[in-house]
Amino acid sequence: MIHKNHGNIAILCSGGDVSGMNAALKHFVEYALLCGLKPYFVYNGFEGLIDDEIQEASYKDVHGIIARGGTMIGSARSKRFLEAAYRQKAKENLDKQHIDKLIVLGGDGSFRGMDLFYKEHAIAFAGVPATIDNDIVGTEYCLGVDTALSVIKSALDNIRDTASSFKRAFVVETMGRECGYLALVSALTSGAELCLIPEVSYDLKEYEQSFQKELAQGRGYFLAVVSEGIKEESIMIAKWFEKKIGIEARVDVLGHIQRGGNPAVRDRLMAYQFVHFAIDGLLGGQNDAIVCYNNGYLNYKSIKEVANIQYQLDSTLVDLFFQNRP
């Protein structure tokens, strides 16, 4: 059913970009138009909101973008948005275009900013969780995670080829300063021998006997997946392999390749579902909510349920890797 004159709605990306944001932008334009909303893009996050980089969007802006990583409207962090005077400026810019609804693709920091903005200026907002770290409380899935995991999987598969051919240990470092989700899931799904993440304390000594024994019994290589947030640098883990286990070792820091790339099917689909739900919510009277995904269903959560709470890694995943290991 086509509805008419539901007003103007904008979307912006804030914080780290992820693959799947472009799919979200495409569906935003298509579904907003179908709902009788006039869609607008805010370029370059809250910075663009302050600098009036707000433009009406149409189908022609979103042709062919679904397969591209990153975000075609840019993303940013904004120190200025922390100040009330700049948020006032942002409100004035939205008023000029008669925009009273805003969708924000970002992390919990962006949602905190929008919650404040809503309370000050009554711009209704819906947050869509987007971060490859998958560490937003209240949702089991954040946009971009599956693409990042696919990138890591491909890298680990390639590294295993050379590790096994040359009888080496490889220490592969993933992103995740405070959250080991990417490293843990990647270790599980690539059969890594070692996984080190900030959430699980470790003592390398405890692995020495079994790794030495495996090597003596003919093990051809080791894969260690470590999160950038652990207490030691990856090079120290490689040195440990050489000194204590007796196998030549190398380090690969995957870095920003994890943030980009052709969006995985799951991220394209989740992008559509998140945005669809966000628009439905804004039209249905949700003013200050985050779209979350739990047990196979989307739902709305308040900022209190999402921000300012310490994220906990899924303990069943932790057990799956760490149980029955030294």
Please state, as a whole number, how many other Cβ atoms lie within 10 Å of the Cβ of residue 155: 18
For residues 95 and 114, what is the distance between their CA atoms, to the nearest angstrom?
Answer: 16
Q: Which residue is nearest to ligand ATP (CB)?
A: 109
Q: Between 145 and 238, name the residue whose CB sits nearer to ligand ATP.
A: 145
Residue 142 CB, shortest distance to ligand ATP, in Å, is 8
Between 86 and 222, CB nearer to ligand ATP:
86
Amino acid letter for position 282? L
Tokens of 211: 């790794």
Q: How far is the CB of 83 from ligand ATP (least distance, A)?
A: 8
| Distance in Å, CB of 281 to ligand ATP, minimum | 19
Binding site for ligand ATP (CB under 6 A): 14-16, 46, 77-78, 81-82, 106-110, 112-113, 116, 131
d(CA 324, CA 90): 54
Note if 280 is an active site residue. no
- Residue 108 or 288 with smaller CB distance to ligand ATP: 108
Please tell me whether residue 120 adopts helix, strand or coil conformation. Answer: helix
Q: What is the DSSP string of 103-151?
A: EEEE-HHHHHHHHHHHHHH--EEEEEEB-TT---TT-S--BTHHHHHHH
Q: How far is the CB of 95 from ligand ATP (least distance, A)?
A: 19
Smaller CB distance to ligand ATP: residue 131 or 190? 131
Helices (H) and strands (E) in the chain, counts: 12, 11
Catalytic residue chosen out of the listed positions 17, 108, 133, 267: 133
As annotated, the active-site residues are 133
